[in-house]
Amino acid sequence: MVVMGVRDFNAQSKTSLDSCRIGRQAPATGFWMWAAGAHVQVYVRSADFDPEQLPYLLTALHNWNSASEQTGSGVKFEYQGNTVQQRSCENCLTIMRDRVFDKTTRHATELSAYSARDNQIITSASIIIDPVLTNPKALLNALVHELGHNLGLLDCYTCKRKSTVMNQFEAVNVPNDMEKPTSCDIAQVKEAYKELKELVRASPSGRESMPVDEGEEPVDDDTPIVIPTSTKRLAGSSPILKPVSRPE
């Protein structure tokens, strides 16, 4: 297994909660989450990625795993190898490709999640990456972003650049150099799992993100965004992907 560019999280500069204002430097929480302490079995659909792309996918998993203790989530993403089809087993995550990018929705990735409990706790999920996203470093950045959604983080399009992995990309296949969760991301995941001990939310519906502050305009780019899916599905059927148009 090859893992690249991983730094010790303990060496990461300390950021006080005061400098992690939601909507400015930090994303809001309240999205899908794996159960606290979950050991998520991660599979990569073998036909979908080139051999040179796999180490970048594994680096994204490793970088979030390195922050697991700091976040208090206890969630670990454990690579199990290749699969020929999407896995729907409990605590299983499939990384796969399918065509999800178009000029209307302007996203290159989707999170498809299923909750057997009909709440925000994920039973099984897939991260779907459009074939248009090929740059290995951009692929790493996008997967780090998607894994943030797996841990309760929402998009934050008003957040300062480099303050969170949950903000916007310049364009598809343009790396943003965000290879690991920031101090603010770690703090917010920690808060999300603290809340989870007291309150389990209903399953998310529709694309959720921090609203743009009044008087500010969103950046007009080809940003990969996450589209949640229905948490209810019939036995043997696939989750229904419901793209939601991005507000202008």
* 59-85 pLDDT tens trace: 999 999 999 999 999 999 999 999 999
Give the percent of the chain with pLDDT over 70: 73
For helices 54-65 and 136-149, the axis angle rounded to 10 degrees is 40
Q: According to the per-residue pLDDT averaged within each range, which of 87-101, 161-175, 225-239 is highest?
A: 87-101
pLDDT over threshold 50, residue 9? no
Please give the average per-residue pLDDT across 106-129, as a whole number: 94
Domain boundaries defined on the chain: 24-196
DSSP character string of the chain:
----S---GGGSPP--GGG--BTTTB--EEEEEPPTT-EEEEEEEGGGS-TTTHHHHHHHHHHHHTTHHHHT---EEEEEEEESS---STTEEEEEE-----TTT--SEEEEEE-TTSBSB-SEEEEEE-TT---HHHHHHHHHHHHHHTEEEPB-TTSPTTS-TTS--SSTT------S--HHHHHHHHHHHHHHTT--PBPP-S--BPPPPTT-----S-------B-S---TTPPPPB---PPP-
Asked if 42 and 91 touch (Cβ cutoff 8 Å), the reply is no
Give me the count of residues in the chain.
248
Question: Rounded CA gap, 104 and 78, in Å?
Answer: 35
Q: Among 117, 160, 140, which residue's Cα sits nearest to residue 63?
A: 140
Residue 14: is its pLDDT beyond 70? no
**pLDDT at 160 (0 to 100):** 95
Report the CATH number of the 24-196 domain: 3.40.390.10
Joined tokens for residue 123? 């039973």
Q: Strand, helix or coil at 130?
A: coil
Specify the higher pLDDT residue, 242 or 99. Answer: 99
Beta strands in the chain (DSSP E): 29-33, 39-45, 76-83, 92-97, 109-114, 124-129, 151-153
pLDDT of residue 107: 77
Residue 209 has pLDDT above 60, yes or no: no
Query: Mean per-residue pLDDT for 44-63?
Result: 97
- Looking at residue 210, its pLDDT comes to 43
Residue 136: the pLDDT is: 97
With cut-offs at 50, 70 and 90, classify the pLDDT of residue 206: low
184 pLDDT above the threshold of 90: yes
Average pLDDT on 110-129 reads 97
Whether the pLDDT of residue 150 is over 90: the answer is: yes
pLDDT-derived band at 18 (thresholds 50, 70, 90) equals low
Q: And the tokens for 149?
A: 């959604």
Under the banding of pLDDT at 50, 70 and 90, the label for residue 242 is very low
**For 229-241, what is each residue's pLDDT tens digit?**
434 333 333 333 3
242 CB neighbour count, 10 Å cutoff: 14
Contact 226, 107 (CB under 8 A): yes
Output the pLDDT for position 207.
Answer: 54
The yes-or-no verdict on residue 146 having pLDDT over 90 is yes
CB 82 within 8 A of CB 131: no
Q: pLDDT grade, residue 17 (50/70/90)?
A: low
**What mean pLDDT is reported for the chain?**
81
Q: How far apart are CA 56 and CA 60, in angstroms?
A: 7
User: How large a percentage of the chain has pLDDT more than 90?
Assistant: 68
